[in-house]
Structure 1
Amino acid sequence: MSPPSSPGYRIWVVCGLLLLATMINYMDRMALNLTSKRIMEEFHFEEDFYGKLEGHFGLAFAVGAISTGLVADRLPIKLLYPFMVFFWSLSGFLTGLVQNKEELLACRIALGFFEAANWPCALVTTRRLLDPARRTMGNSILQSGAALGAILTPMIVQICLHKQTEESLPFIAGWRGAFLLTGMTGLVWIFLWGLFTWGINLKDQEPHDPLAKKEHLGTILGQIVWQKRFWILVLSVVSINLTWHFLRAWLPLYLQKARGYSESEVNYFFMGYYLAADIGSLSAGFLTLYLAKIGFPVFSSRLTTFGLFASLSLLSVLAAFIPTGPVFLGTLILMGFGTLGLFPCYYSFSQEISGRHQGKITGLLGSINWIGMYIMQTGAGYFIQGTKTHYLELFKTQGYEQGIAMQMAQEQAYVWGIAMAGIPPAIAFFTLLYFWKNPGEVRGKDTLS
């Protein structure tokens, strides 16, 4: 594929818009995680229902990913993308108005479905704009929006909670204001997208074989899933997302309930955590681009980067058992740096299967991945709640007071999930190393002209 003839700076402006879309995506999503303890207390539910919220979000995301993926290759990206951004922003906004946990669940399901469109739309866009050697950089830019959104969300949450007063209107006070503010940001993005993509060619540049038009959707999907690389990507995407999304959903509760940090301390910590993750995502792109420029084959530059960042994710095994304090928090920040840096490499691997069907590939992989997240998050909720209940009764029978017994039980409930969270990316790395064959690839510097 030859990238469009748009000037270079305009291509990177579009990548910047993808960053902003991913930022808004994560702002709408992260608002729940950072206010979860307060919402759980207000609506009277425990970790098992919180796991259900995250799990059903993931299941809706799976349906949205495959649905959007099937149409992203056919419908104009310039129209499809802002359409989906509007509805996921609306879902986030309505979350600020819910009155009970059932309404909260409905809003999370809607949010999951519409947010899933971001990645098929974004990856179709980067593939149509950038040549293979520059795609990891473009993907790094868009993925860093996840961390940027996650950095801004704690600030918004902290401001909303700090400004809460008795005179505040009930629907803009406290945690509700965080959802309302983040939900409204999508309208700004829609305006910017229309303004800055005017005149940019985002149409499919792949040569169309007339015979290919006669293929049925089932045939196309069959050709995709028949490839060994597709199943390597399935393992890879599930692995890196298990780490990222377990920490996204459960780390705030772990820090407050098991480690004793205050709500404000957790919000301030996550500003640093996601800033490190943002730097990690961009660093992965720069490192891959640098290795390609000095002569590494494109695949080798991606795999080397993936391996380095996967090794940082393994720090979770140590973090779970490090005493509370600066070293513990520093270890978590290194994990954040490494975990998000895995995604740009994975996205670039996924763009090597097919150009014409990138949306279908991304949607199918995303759907399978989020089914996995549904299983993980729902299971984590029941496991944590069940483990906490078991140890609470155990410690009470041993003579501990209720408060001390609860604190000890919550530590036991979370510790093993945190410890194991960083292991899956290492499994993905060795799978890519031994089973992804790239015969006859060109060196990166040969593709950078």
Structure 2
Amino acid sequence: MESLTPPALGARVWLICGVLLLATMLNYMDRQALAVTLPTLKNEFALTESRVGMIEGCFGYAFAFGSIFFGLLADRWGPRWLYPIVLIGWSIAGIATAGAGQPWITDWFETPGDSPGTGTYRWLLLCRVVLGVFEAGHWPCALLTVRAVLPPQGLALGNGILQSGASIGAVAVPLYIEAAERSGFSWEFPFWSIGLVGLAWVPLWGFAIRDQQLRLPHGYSSDPIPTPGDRGILLRRLAVLVVVIASLTISWQFLRAWLGLFLQDYHGYGKFATRGIMSAYFIVADVGCILSGLLVARLALRGWRVSSARRLGYLLFSLLALGASLVPFAGDGALMVALLLIAGAGILGLHPYYYAFTQELSARRMGILSGGLAAWGWVASSLWQIRIGSLIEQTRSYGLGLVIVGLVPMVGCLVLLLFWPRSEPKPITPGSPS
């Protein structure tokens, strides 16, 4: 197992953060390619809202399993060799998704009497399950790496850089697919081409950590034997984060998966306008993500306690997320789009704080604890996705979903403010217990 601790900050540290950002970008490009192409696939292969909800729900269940599985492996092996494995796995799953348009593949998944598009639906379901399992491994590997190379006051910014890759990837996908279609490529092209780029990430990771940045003396990362009081604080923090991660995953994954259909199918936006708004949404979300990390760093420089700065930031960005609850009452014009953008900045801006709180739990068990929390978040989101898909198909309305999306981050915020133990994270120095 690799032991982890932050070395002195330098160019190599920020290079590693940049490589992590790229991995997150690829993670989201593989994931978001389906959301952008859904309007096309829905018409071409009879993907109903219920089927879309089931695909997203099963993706989430697979992500939950992968979070625990790879969290355990990350604690045992560390990210050095595990990270390339999970990235290769999800890249291959992304490449395979392009086979949904090939009858010689989808015919194997149909039986006589099936409704139209059943083979394509089942193949997409299989590919998304595999994608979810391997994509889940990104987060314990990435969080362990960030925790290894940055001190407490830099965690929110480092996590913001890491998480911002999600928005960059989500911004790039609509533009990339639009450019591909204008160049004469079919909808399959983004899936296999993004997957190939993912495979090229592996040697870059090897270059970034070639001097064994993540390998330090054995025994460093072992936590001290906990006292009953320590265990009580750990359980209290876990209970708070159970609520927080469920609220974040429900909100973010709903808008990530359904935004394209909401704009194009429900409000009648054209394909080009839909993709433009989706790109703008993730650009603004990325700005919110970076600003949330900078806020903590700036307040810490002014003498604020890191824990107090994080609480203030969480409250401010939860208020921004409330914008989603106003979307159903804002018509279908510029105000509606503005509220969506504000909500995106708020929801994604909360993620760096959540990761920083998670990184305070335990150095030795960070992989399984972060993985277990992520698993619960994805289970909650999957139950929600399946239910909301059926509800949208029945009512032809996204109103209730959007109201809930805006409110649940504030629920998580209130639980955090009321019940998170008020202790300051301690800087980690080589040779000291975490």
**TM-score scaled by structure 2?**
0.88
Name the structure 2 match of 1:397. Answer: none
Query: Is 1:122 the equivalent of 2:142?
Result: yes
- In the TM superposition, residue 226 of structure 1 has moved relative to its aligned partner by 6.6
Name the structure 2 match of 1:300. Answer: 308
State the one-letter code of the partner of 2:220.
P
Q: List aligned pairs for 1:27-426, cutoff 5 A.
A: 27-98=29-100, 99=102, 100-164=120-184, 173-203=185-215, 207=220, 227-387=235-395, 410=396, 413-426=397-410
2:223·2:363 contact (CA, 8 Å) conserved in 1?
no
Greater shift after overlay, 231-240 or 1-10?
1-10
State the one-letter code of the partner of 2:412.
A
- Measure, in 1, the Cα distance between the counterparts of 2:423 and 2:290: 28
- Measure, in 2, the Cα distance between the counterparts of 1:345 and 1:78: 25
- In the TM superposition, residue 45 of structure 1 has moved relative to its aligned partner by 2.3
Q: In 2 relative to 1, CA 440–92 (structure 1 residues): closer, same or farther, beyond 3 Å?
A: closer
State the one-letter code of the partner of 1:310.
S
Q: In 2 relative to 1, CA 305–22 (structure 1 residues): closer, same or farther, beyond 3 Å?
A: same
Name the structure 1 match of 2:431. Answer: none
- In the TM superposition, residue 442 of structure 1 has moved relative to its aligned partner by 7.4
- In the TM superposition, residue 18 of structure 1 has moved relative to its aligned partner by 0.7
Q: Which runs of 5+ in 2 are unaligned?
A: 103-119, 428-434
Partner of 1:78, secondary structure, is helix
Partner of 2:331, secondary structure, is coil
State the one-letter code of the partner of 1:370.
W
Q: Which runs of 5+ in 1 are unaligned?
A: 165-172, 216-222, 388-409, 444-449
1:48·1:381 contact (CA, 8 Å) conserved in 2?
yes
Q: Aligned-residue CA RMSD in angstroms?
A: 2.2
State the one-letter code of the partner of 2:420.
W
- Measure, in 2, the Cα distance between the counterparts of 1:182 and 1:315: 32
State the one-letter code of the partner of 2:160.
S
- In the TM superposition, residue 224 of structure 1 has moved relative to its aligned partner by 9.4
- In the TM superposition, residue 321 of structure 1 has moved relative to its aligned partner by 1.2
Identity of aligned residues (%): 37
- Measure, in 1, the Cα distance between the counterparts of 2:412 and 2:284: 22
Output one character per residue of 1:115-171: Cα deviation in whole Å (capped at 9) or x when no partner.
Answer: 00011000011111111111111100000000000011011111122223xxxxxxx
- Measure, in 2, the Cα distance between the counterparts of 1:255 and 1:112: 25
Paired positions, count: 403
- Measure, in 1, the Cα distance between the counterparts of 2:141 and 2:299: 28
- In the TM superposition, residue 4 of structure 1 has moved relative to its aligned partner by 3.7
- Measure, in 1, the Cα distance between the counterparts of 2:279 and 2:35: 13
2:233·2:421 contact (CA, 8 Å) conserved in 1?
no
Partner of 1:198, secondary structure, is coil
Partner of 1:261, secondary structure, is coil
Q: In 2 relative to 1, CA 211–431 (structure 1 residues): closer, same or farther, beyond 3 Å?
A: closer
1:139·1:285 contact (CA, 8 Å) conserved in 2?
yes
1:158·1:264 contact (CA, 8 Å) conserved in 2?
yes
Q: In 2 relative to 1, CA 363–207 (structure 1 residues): closer, same or farther, beyond 3 Å?
A: same
Name the structure 2 match of 1:400. Answer: none
- Measure, in 2, the Cα distance between the counterparts of 1:109 and 1:432: 32
2:64·2:133 contact (CA, 8 Å) conserved in 1?
yes
